[in-house]
């Protein structure tokens, strides 16, 4: 191996049997002066020469063997890693077993890479970054950044071509030197050219849950909170501090205003501009988006029973499509549903009403516009 600054260029691995000690080098090699098969730029050296290096002693020797193989010695056995000769792996980086690192990759000094991870050609993992087991980082992707704070990636994640995950946020309020964090769960598919930024301050995190499909060219800004099993189609753009709950689905080319909340099992139509909250189970679309109805297909696909769906529809009609012109304002219609034991006694209806109520608490933005059966699109409860 050849040292280049703080990095080490790993040459093609030896094949050595263990236990292996400096004292028995010549006993295990029939021709002591035989040249080692590893070379870089024509540089060759013999095992006898290695015997005289100060590194061949105790723990230092084990680190040397680990450096050549890229593996971890444990209990006298080694599960070797596959590291291309052109990869730059810092000597302080921690690699799990069966890691594969392709040509022209870089791995920084504070990086921890789990078992059976694959770094494809030209991918980079840097900063204080933890990559869980069985992750794949495809060509051109960048994970982590040399910033205070940390990026934590769970297990079984795929990070697509030229994606940028765990870098500095695009928030002018961020102060240089502040810690910033990104936490990603397990089983996420993050496709090509996606960008996911760290938090804007040390007291917050950007969080991605489990099982999400984030398609090409999506953007998840600082301090966003993404739940589980969501599907974001291409060019879905979330501004800072957006909260997306579970099992949401966005069509392509949508934008979401900062601090908005997207409720579980909702659907956002293509090209929409979301400037207010989307309650649970709703389907919205438009610029600015309006509530168009319930996401019935999404409810069916996610295992809601026909009885639950029918009860949600009854509550939805009373709140948003009341044919009784004497029912009063939006607040009165919400209260009527809450007082209806047949409806409000069903957990899914209670959850929907709570989602609507929460949208008007504190600094929340209210819900998207909706069209009343006898009114215009301006008959809504929220901001203008």
133 annotated active-site: no
CB atoms within 10 A of CB 45: 12
324 annotated active-site: no
* Cα–Cα distance for residue pair 164/151, rounded to 1 Å: 12
Q: Given 120, 197, 219, 222, which residue is catalytic? A: 222
The structure's pTM equals 0.78
246 annotated active-site: no
Q: Tens digit of pLDDT for each residue in 45-55?
A: 333 333 333 33
* Cα–Cα distance for residue pair 245/214, rounded to 1 Å: 14
Nearest by Cα to 201 from 149, 144, 257, 143: 149
Nearest by Cα to 238 from 197, 280, 181: 197
Nearest by Cα to 223 from 247, 202, 237: 202
CA dihedral 346, 349, 354, 359 (to 10 degrees): 180
* Cα–Cα distance for residue pair 199/213, rounded to 1 Å: 21
* More confident: 277 or 73: 277
Q: Given 223, 241, 261, 263, which residue is catalytic? A: 223
The mean pLDDT value of the chain amounts to 82
* Cα–Cα distance for residue pair 224/282, rounded to 1 Å: 21
Q: Given 160, 240, 263, 298, which residue is catalytic? A: 240
Q: Tens digit of pLDDT for each residue in 252-304?
A: 999 999 999 999 999 999 999 999 999 999 999 999 999 999 999 999 999 99
């Amino acid at each position: 191996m050849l040292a280049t600054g703080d990095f080490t260029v790993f040459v093609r691995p030896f094949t050595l049997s263990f236990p292996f000690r400096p004292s028995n080098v010549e006993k295990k090699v029939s021709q002591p002066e035989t040249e080692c098969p590893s070379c870089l730029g024509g540089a060759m050296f013999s095992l006898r020469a290695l015997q005289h290096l100060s590194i061949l002693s105790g723990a230092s020797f084990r680190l040397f063997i680990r450096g050549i193989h890229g593996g971890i010695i444990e209990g006298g056995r080694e599960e070797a890693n596959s590291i291309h000769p052109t990869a730059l792996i810092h000597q302080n980086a921690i690699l799990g077993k069966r890691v594969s690192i392709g040509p022209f990759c870089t791995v920084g000094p504070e990086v921890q890479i789990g078992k059976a991870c694959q770094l494809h050609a030209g991918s980079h993992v840097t900063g204080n970054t933890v990559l869980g087991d069985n992750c794949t980082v495809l060509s051109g992707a960048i994970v982590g950044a040399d910033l205070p704070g940390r990026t934590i990636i769970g297990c079984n994640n795929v990070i697509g071509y030229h994606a940028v995950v765990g870098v500095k946020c695009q928030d002018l309020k961020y102060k240089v030197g502040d810690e910033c964090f990104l936490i990603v769960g397990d089983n996420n598919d993050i496709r090509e050219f996606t960008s996911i930024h760290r938090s804007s301050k040390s007291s917050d995190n950007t969080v991605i849950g489990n099982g999400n499909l984030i398609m090409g060219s999506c953007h998840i800004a600082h301090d966003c909170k993404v739940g589980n099993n969501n599907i974001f189609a291409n060019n879905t753009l979330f501004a800072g501090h957006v909260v997306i709950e579970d099992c949401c689905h966005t069509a392509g080319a949508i934008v979401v205003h900062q601090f908005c909340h997207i409720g579980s099992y909702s659907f956002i139509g293509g090209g929409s501009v979301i400037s207010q909250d989307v309650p649970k189970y709703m389907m919205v679309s438009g610029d600015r988006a309006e509530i168009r109805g319930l996401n019935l297909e999404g409810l069916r696909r996610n295992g809601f029973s026909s009885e639950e769906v029918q009860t949600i529809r009854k509550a939805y009609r009373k709140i948003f499509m009341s044919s009784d012109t004497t029912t009063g304002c939006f607040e009165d219609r919400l209260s009527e549903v809450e007082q209806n034991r047949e409806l409000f006694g069903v957990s899914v209806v209670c959850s929907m009403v709570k989602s609507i109520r929460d949208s008007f608490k504190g600094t929340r933005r209210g819900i998207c516009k909706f069209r009343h059966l006898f009114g215009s699109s301006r008959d809504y409860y929220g901001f203008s």
